[in-house]
Chains A and B, each alone.
Chain A
Amino acid sequence: MSTLPTRKKPPRVGDNPIFRRTLIGIVLVLVAFVIVAPLIIIGVEAFSKGWVVYRDTIIHPDTLHAIGLTVLAALIAVPVNTAFGIAAAWAITKFDFWGKRFLLVVIEIPFSVSPIVAGVAYLFVYGLQGLFGPLLDAYDIKILFAVPGIIIASMFVTAPFVARELIPLMQAQGRDLEEAATSLGASGFRTFLSVTLPNVKWALLYGVILCNARVMGEFGAVSVVSGNIRGQTNTLPLHIELLYHDYQAAGAFASASILATIAVFTIIAKVLLERQGAGRVRKTANPAEKIA
């Protein structure tokens, strides 16, 4: 064995040990206090009064109803926003039309506006004293303080998710593939199904998952328009708040643990999808290197 003289290597640019350790330390401390600790507390508190209380909270009719309502909101809002996102992304990236930039900005609004503002705005549009209030009342259509209001508010808040994932990707892909398919005789619908969709499917699924997570967790906008009627217009996040204000901490945490579980599965799905998406690229890139 040859012994090379050990030489202290100068650090690479930006790789000062003190600097590096400080940064990593700050991040770890923040993650521990801001993200990990609350998650642990949810689990601990949910079971603080024992398994029976936990189970009773979950199978309580009000909780079950809240879960059902949340799932219903997701089942409607997510497909609608997916369709909207695809249509918006398609329109913005494949066509030129007047007001395109404006539309891009409008799509982003739900991200920049506080959800509670959206909720209040809906009050003024659909409420009894609102714009369409008298008209809706005349036909006995209830939107606010009822399920439709919850769904509309959820849709507003999550409108940008799918479009936001698709637009940059479709912009990068350009129109060549669609033009090629059309020049080969494919109809618009066929082009969409066999060319556009397969090339954006991972981004689309990713957007759908994020959209779903947000619909299920939405609190602000829904809390304004739902009216918080227990067993009727209470979604899971609203239910948690209600339980908490009723001094049923264990129940609140038990319900919260459901949302936390959904969140964890969302993240797992997201990671898996990212891997899938990346895997495709890697799979195809490797043999190409062999040839070249």
Chain B
Amino acid sequence: MKIRLENVVKTFENFRAVKDVSLDIESGELVALLGPSGSGKTTILRMVAGLEYADGGHIHFGDQDATDIPVRDRGVGFVFQHYALFPHMTVANNIAFGMKVSKVKRDRAAIEARVTDLLRLVRLEGLGDRFPAQISGGQRQRVALARALAVDPKVLLLDEPFGALDANVRRDLRRWLREIHSELGITTLFVTHDQEEALDLADRVVILKDGQIVQQGTPQEVCRDPQSAFVMKFLGDANVIAAEVRDGRAHVGDISVEAPGVVDGKAELYARPADLDWSAEGPGIAATISRVLDRPDGRRVLAVTAAGEQLEFNVEPERVVTAGEGGFVTLRRAKVFAV
């Protein structure tokens, strides 16, 4: 099912949570809404679900205007951040709940067969008789997904699906959700504040700030070509270096990088830790190493430039660098944004 949001607006008391958001989600696509807290991503998800109503704009499911369809009839599967499993029901009864209350009557055997299928799909065979409090967090998350899928939703919506889990479980479940998605091909929208999760899992990432979409695209597009300093900073560690733009190039000391489309004058140069390197000789940005942090996959160097800017970058594990050493930071690549 294709979903289309058209100039959607939502205001809470005096706070504009979502400002004029338009977004197209293709049928079968897996899309991440990524943003810091307060960016309106959960509100958008809840409006798509029908748990909140939009104050303005329209939400279309396929050709149908779903803006005013109540959640009960909207046909979405919603997985809550804290799973919201019914604590007084067994896992099997949790999964069966949607089928039991459905207007489409099914007989007991059909429901049981479907529950068994879903338990197999989420790899929880044999746990049907447990209560939610008797299973682990990762298992609860999978029960929540099975429960949402049981009603054959047109759209699957997940609110911070892995937020409450520890890092290892999170990585496993991410891969697993990706597999389930390719198996079922259901249009899926999920919310996260974790950029790694969004980039790992989604076909397309929609980045939000203050209730507006600031950029959207495939993980490759948003990583390689961030359109603003906000996206650059939000997607990962970035060094910020003051620069001067003249004639389409940003100059820092005696080096310069291309800065297409940036107006002349003061600007900021953004570089990932892997975009910088260390050299004993110039040209480069003169700096002194203040600390070296050793990590499993390399060495992280902290340096202070002559201008007092703190820089962080990676060097190969074999590289000999020591704190107190002076030298030059060189640029492999960088993005330039006007101040």
A174 to chain B, nearest CB (A): 9
Q: List, in ascending order, chain B residues with CB within 8 A of A182's CB.
A: 71-72
Tell me the dominant secondary structure on chain B's binding face. loop
Q: Would you call B121 an interface residue if the criterion is a C-beta within 8 Å of the partner chain's C-beta atoms?
A: no
Q: Which one of B80, B97, B130 contacts A176 once the chains associate, using CB atoms below 8 Å?
A: B80
A284-B78 Cα distance, complex, nearest whole Å = 26
A281 to chain B, nearest CB (A): 8
Query: Per-position contact with B for A267-289: 1 when CB-CB < 8 Å, else 0?
Result: 00000000000000000110110
A279 to chain B, nearest CB (A): 13
B106 to chain A, nearest CB (A): 12
A219 to chain B, nearest CB (A): 39
Number of interface residues of B (CB under 8 A): 31
A183-B149 Cα distance, complex, nearest whole Å = 11
Given A179-B51, A199-B87, A284-B131, residue A184 in contact with residue B97 (CB < 8 A): yes
Nearest to A184 among chain B residues (CB) is B98
Is the CB–CB distance between A179 and B72 below 8 Å?
Answer: no
Is the CB–CB distance between B136 and A183 below 8 Å?
Answer: no
A1-B148 Cα distance, complex, nearest whole Å = 63
A183-B51 Cα distance, complex, nearest whole Å = 8
A195-B98 Cα distance, complex, nearest whole Å = 12
Q: Which of A209-236 contact B (CB under 8 A)?
A: none
Q: Would you call A55 an interface residue if the criterion is a C-beta within 8 Å of the partner chain's C-beta atoms?
A: no
Q: List, in ascending order, chain A residues with CB within 8 A of B130's CB.
A: 287
B279 to chain A, nearest CB (A): 51
Q: Which of B126-155 contact A (CB under 8 A)?
A: 130-131, 133-136, 147-148, 150-151
Q: Which one of A180, A183, A184, A199 contacts B88 once the chains associate, using CB atoms below 8 Å?
A: A199
Q: Would you call B233 an interface residue if the criterion is a C-beta within 8 Å of the partner chain's C-beta atoms?
A: no
Q: List, in ascending order, chain B residues with CB within 8 A of A59's CB.
A: none
Query: Per-position contact with B for A181-203: 1 when CB-CB < 8 Å, else 0?
Result: 11111110010001100110000
Is the CB–CB distance between A288 and B135 below 8 Å?
Answer: yes
Q: Which among B78, B80, B101, B147 has the greatest number of chain A C-beta atoms within 10 A?
A: B101
Q: Would you call B295 an interface residue if the criterion is a C-beta within 8 Å of the partner chain's C-beta atoms?
A: no
A292-B88 Cα distance, complex, nearest whole Å = 20
Is the CB–CB distance between B88 and A190 below 8 Å?
Answer: no
Q: Which among B97, B102, B148 has the greatest number of chain A C-beta atoms within 10 A?
A: B97
Q: List, in ascending order, chain B residues with CB within 8 A of A198's CB.
A: 88
Q: Would you call A177 an interface residue if the criterion is a C-beta within 8 Å of the partner chain's C-beta atoms?
A: yes
Q: Would you call A291 an interface residue if the criterion is a C-beta within 8 Å of the partner chain's C-beta atoms?
A: yes
Number of interface residues of A (CB under 8 A): 22
Q: Which one of B51, B131, B135, B151 contacts A184 once the chains associate, using CB atoms below 8 Å?
A: B151
Q: List, in ascending order, chain A residues with CB within 8 A of B133's CB.
A: 284-285, 288
Q: Which one of B49, B85, B101 contacts A185 once the chains associate, using CB atoms below 8 Å?
A: B101
Is the CB–CB distance between B76 and A183 below 8 Å?
Answer: yes
Is the CB–CB distance between A177 and B151 below 8 Å?
Answer: no
Is the CB–CB distance between B147 and A184 below 8 Å?
Answer: yes
B327 to chain A, nearest CB (A): 50
Q: List, in ascending order, chain A residues with CB within 8 A of B82's CB.
A: 176
A195-B85 Cα distance, complex, nearest whole Å = 10
A185-B99 Cα distance, complex, nearest whole Å = 8
A199-B87 Cα distance, complex, nearest whole Å = 8
Is the CB–CB distance between A177 and B136 below 8 Å?
Answer: no
A199-B133 Cα distance, complex, nearest whole Å = 14
Q: List, in ascending order, chain B residues with CB within 8 A of A284's CB.
A: 87, 131, 133-134
Nearest to A292 among chain B residues (CB) is B136
Q: Which of B58-89 contact A (CB under 8 A)?
A: 71-73, 76-78, 80, 82, 84-88
Given A176-B82, A179-B51, residue A287 in contact with residue B97 (CB < 8 A): no
A26-B164 Cα distance, complex, nearest whole Å = 48
A186-B151 Cα distance, complex, nearest whole Å = 11
Q: List, in ascending order, chain B residues with CB within 8 A of A185's CB.
A: 72-73, 98, 101-103, 151
A287-B88 Cα distance, complex, nearest whole Å = 15
Given A176-B82, A180-B84, residue A187 in contact with residue B131 (CB < 8 A): no
Is the CB–CB distance between B101 and A186 below 8 Å?
Answer: yes
Is the CB–CB distance between B131 and A190 below 8 Å?
Answer: no
Q: List, in ascending order, chain B residues with CB within 8 A of A184's CB.
A: 97-98, 101, 147-148, 150-151
Q: List, in ascending order, chain B residues with CB within 8 A of A180's CB.
A: 78, 80, 84-86, 147
A183-B49 Cα distance, complex, nearest whole Å = 8
Is the CB–CB distance between A291 and B134 below 8 Å?
Answer: yes
Nearest to A179 among chain B residues (CB) is B51
B283 to chain A, nearest CB (A): 57
Nearest to B132 among chain A residues (CB) is A284
A131-B133 Cα distance, complex, nearest whole Å = 56
Query: Per-position contact with B for A32-70: 1 when CB-CB < 8 Å, else 0?
Result: 000000000000000000000000000000000000000
Q: List, in ascending order, chain B residues with CB within 8 A of A179's CB.
A: 51, 71, 78, 80, 84
The list of the 10 closest CB pairs from A to B, nearest first, reads A184-B98, A176-B84, A284-B133, A180-B84, A186-B101, A183-B78, A198-B88, A287-B134, A288-B134, A183-B71
Besides the known contacts A182-B72, A185-B101, 12 further A-B residue pairs in the complex with CB atoms under 8 A apart = A179-B78, A180-B80, A183-B51, A184-B97, A184-B150, A185-B102, A185-B151, A186-B101, A190-B101, A195-B86, A198-B88, A291-B136
Where the two chains meet, the residues of A that have a C-beta atom closer than 8 Å to any C-beta of B are 176-177, 179-187, 190, 194-195, 198-199, 284-285, 287-288, 291-292
Listed by A's residue number, 26 A-B pairs whose Cβ atoms lie within 8 Å are A176-B82, A177-B86, A179-B71, A179-B78, A180-B86, A181-B86, A183-B50, A183-B71, A183-B72, A184-B97, A185-B73, A185-B103, A186-B97, A187-B72, A190-B101, A194-B86, A194-B97, A198-B88, A199-B86, A199-B88, A284-B87, A284-B131, A284-B133, A287-B130, A288-B134, A291-B136
